[in-house]
C-alpha cells in the first residue's frame, strides 16, 4: 500500500472520504479517513489530510455522515427464485419444496425465468450493499449474463441432482451443462464457479464420488445443503447409520473447499469434523426460522475455529435478500441460545458478513476487507438519519440500528453501481416490469 510521502501527488481513479471506515481486518474504526483506489484496487486507507497531499483523484466522493465498509457477501442464495417470493409461505420445508417449489420449477424454469429472476435478485442485493453472492440454481450461464451486465461478483454453483429437472435429465447431464457454462465465463474477473450438489438426500454416493473427483482435479469448491432439517438427519441415520455430514466426509467431499450450507442439525462430533477438515459453514438464520428448521449452533462452531459466513437463502424461503437483517438475527439468536448477551458481538457479525463470506468462497485474497491491494468493493451506509442517531459505535449501529435502506452508494472494483440509492447498471423499471409479467404467468 502506498503511504504519503513528499513526492508529487499520485493521480488515481477514486477517492472516498468517510466519517468512519471499518476495514474489518484489522478490527477497528477509522475516523475521517479516505479510501483511495486505482484501476479497481485499493492503494491506500489514510487520514483525509494525508490523502490531500499524496493523491489527486479523478473522482472524489464525500460521505460525511456515512460509514464505509467492505462489500457484503451473501454466501448462499438461489437468485432466480426471487420470482417465487411469497408463493408458498408458512409451510414446512418438505411441503414447501416437494409440493410447491419443485412442481412450479418443472413448469416454468428456463433461461428466461432465470435471467429475469436473477436480475430482480441482483437489483435487490446491490441496493442492500451486497457486492458478491454465492448462487445455486439452474441455468447458471443465464445468471452469469446478469452479473456481468450489473457488475456484481458471484460464485455460481453448477447444480447437480440425480433426477430430471428443467435444466438436465440426470446428474451426468447436470455436470456436462455446468462445465459448459464454466468454460464460457472462465476469463471473467467477476465470476467464478463451484460444484453444487443439491443435498446428500438428492445425490447418490456414485454421483458424489464423481463430484469429489472433479473437485480435486479442477480445484473447484463444493457447496451443498447439509444438516438442514431433523427429518434429513433421521432418514440418513436410518438408511446408512451415518449423519449426512459423516457420509459426505466418508465420500471425500469435506476439506478446505467444502461449503456446508445451513448445518442446523450438527452435533459436537460434526462440528469437530468441520473444524478438523477446515470446512466453511453458511448460516441462514431467517430461512431456517421461517421454515422452522431450527437454529444452527453458530457460537459452538466459531469456538472450534470453523469459518462461518452469512447467507439469505432464496427469496422464496426468506423472503428477503437482506444481509443486514441476517446479521441482526444471527446475533440475537446466538445470544438467546447461549444465554449470554456477549455472544456474537457486532464486530464478529460484520466479519461473518464480509470476510467470513469471502473466505468461504475462497476469495479472501481479493475481497472481504478494505486493505491495500484488494479490490475496491465498498459500501457507504448513511448514519445521519434520525433512527440512527446518536452514533457511539458504528459497528454496533450497522447490526442493531441501520438497515439496507441506509445504503447510499456501492462500488465493485472501484466502479460505482449504486449512487444515492439508485441503480446505475440495471434498469429498475425494466426489472420490475419483467417481475410483474412473471407474477401473472405463475398465477
For 62-114, the pLDDT digits (tens) are 999 999 999 999 999 999 999 999 998 888 888 888 889 989 999 999 999 99
Average pLDDT for residues 211-238, to the nearest whole number?
Answer: 96
| Residue 85 within a domain | yes
For residue 214, pLDDT beyond 90: yes
Locate 100 and state its grid cell: 410447491
pLDDT at 260: 98
Q: Give CA separation, 32 vs 50, 131, 282, in Å.
A: 11, 24, 33
Are residue 341 and residue 398 in the same domain, yes or no?
Answer: no
Are residue 38 and residue 154 in the same domain, yes or no?
Answer: no
Are residue 64 and residue 199 in the same domain, yes or no?
Answer: no
Are residue 206 and residue 348 in the same domain, yes or no?
Answer: yes
Alpha-carbon distance of 94 to 317, in angstroms, equals 12
| Residue 391 within a domain | yes
Number of structural domains in the chain? 2
End-to-end CA, the chain: 55
Domain extent at residue 130: 72-360
Are residue 299 and residue 174 in the same domain, yes or no?
Answer: yes
Are residue 89 and residue 226 in the same domain, yes or no?
Answer: yes
Question: Per the confidence metrics, is the pTM higher than 0.95?
Answer: yes
| Residue 193 within a domain | yes
What does the pLDDT look like over 396-417, one tens digit per residue? 999 999 999 999 999 999 999 9
The H helix count followed by the E strand count for the chain is: 17, 16
Are residue 390 and residue 279 in the same domain, yes or no?
Answer: no
Are residue 286 and residue 404 in the same domain, yes or no?
Answer: no
* Domain CATH code at residue 132: 3.20.20.140
Are residue 131 and residue 280 in the same domain, yes or no?
Answer: yes
Amino acid at each position: 500500500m502506498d503511504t504519503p510521502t513528499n513526492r508529487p501527488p499520485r493521480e488515481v481513479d477514486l477517492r472516498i472520504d468517510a466519517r468512519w471506515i471499518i476495514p474489518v481486518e484489522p478490527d477497528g474504526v477509522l475516523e475521517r479517513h479516505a479510501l483511495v483506489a486505482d484501476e479497481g484496487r485499493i492503494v491506500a486507507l489514510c487520514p483525509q489530510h494525508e490523502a490531500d497531499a499524496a493523491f489527486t483523484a479523478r473522482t472524489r466522493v464525500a460521505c460525511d455522515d456515512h460509514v464505509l465498509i467492505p462489500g457484503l457477501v451473501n454466501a448462499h442464495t438461489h437468485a432466480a427464485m426471487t420470482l417465487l417470493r411469497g408463493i408458498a409461505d408458512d409451510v414446512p420445508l418438505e411441503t414447501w419444496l416437494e409440493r410447491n417449489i419443485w412442481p412450479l420449477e418443472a413448469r416454468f424454469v428456463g433461461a428466461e425465468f432465470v435471467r429475469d429472476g436473477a436480475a430482480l435478485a441482483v437489483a435487490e442485493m446491490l441496493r442492500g450493499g451486497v457486492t458478491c453472492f454465492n448462487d445455486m440454481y439452474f441455468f447458471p450461464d443465464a445468471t452469469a449474463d446478469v452479473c456481468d451486465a450489473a457488475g456484481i461478483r458471484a460464485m455460481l454453483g453448477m447444480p447437480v441432482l440425480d433426477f430430471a429437472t428443467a435444466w438436465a435429465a440426470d446428474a451426468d447431464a447436470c455436470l456436462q451443462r455446468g462445465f459448459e457454462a464454466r468454460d464460457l465465463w472462465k476469463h471473467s474477473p467477476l465470476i467464478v464457479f463451484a460444484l453444487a450438489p443439491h443435498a446428500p438426500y438428492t445425490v447418490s454416493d456414485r454421483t458424489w464420488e464423481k463430484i469429489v473427483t472433479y473437485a480435486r482435479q479442477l480445484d473447484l469448491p463444493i457447496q451443498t445443503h447439509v444438516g438442514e432439517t431433523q427429518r434429513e438427519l433421521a432418514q440418513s441415520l436410518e438408511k446408512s447409520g451415518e449423519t449426512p455430514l459423516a457420509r459426505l466426509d466418508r465420500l471425500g467431499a469435506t476439506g478446505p473447499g467444502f461449503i456446508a450450507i445451513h448445518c442446523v442439525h450438527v452435533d459436537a462430533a460434526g462440528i469437530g469434523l468441520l473444524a478438523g477438515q477446515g470446512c466453511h459453514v453458511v448460516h441462514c438464520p431467517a430461512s431456517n426460522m421461517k421454515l422452522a428448521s431450527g437454529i444452527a449452533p453458530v457460537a459452538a462452531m466459531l469456538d472450534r475455529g470453523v469459518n462461518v459466513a452469512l447467507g439469505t437463502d432464496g427469496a422464496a424461503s426468506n423472503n428477503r435478500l437482506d444481509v443486514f437483517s441476517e446479521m441482526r438475527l444471527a446475533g440475537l439468536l446466538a445470544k438467546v441460545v447461549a444465554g449470554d448477551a456477549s455472544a456474537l458481538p457486532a464486530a464478529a457479525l460484520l466479519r461473518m458478513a464480509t470476510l467470513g463470506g469471502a473466505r468461504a468462497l475462497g476469495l479472501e485474497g481479493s475481497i472481504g476487507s478494505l486493505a491495500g491491494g484488494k479490490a475496491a468493493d465498498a459500501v457507504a451506509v448513511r448514519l445521519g438519519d434520525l433512527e440512527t442517531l446518536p452514533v457511539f459505535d458504528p459497528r454496533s449501529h450497522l447490526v442493531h440500528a441501520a438497515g439496507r435502506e441506509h445504503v447510499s452508494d456501492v462500488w465493485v472494483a472501484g466502479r460505482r453501481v449504486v449512487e444515492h440509492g439508485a441503480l446505475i447498471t440495471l434498469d429498475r423499471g425494466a426489472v420490475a416490469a419483467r417481475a410483474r409479467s412473471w407474477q401473472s404467468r405463475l398465477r
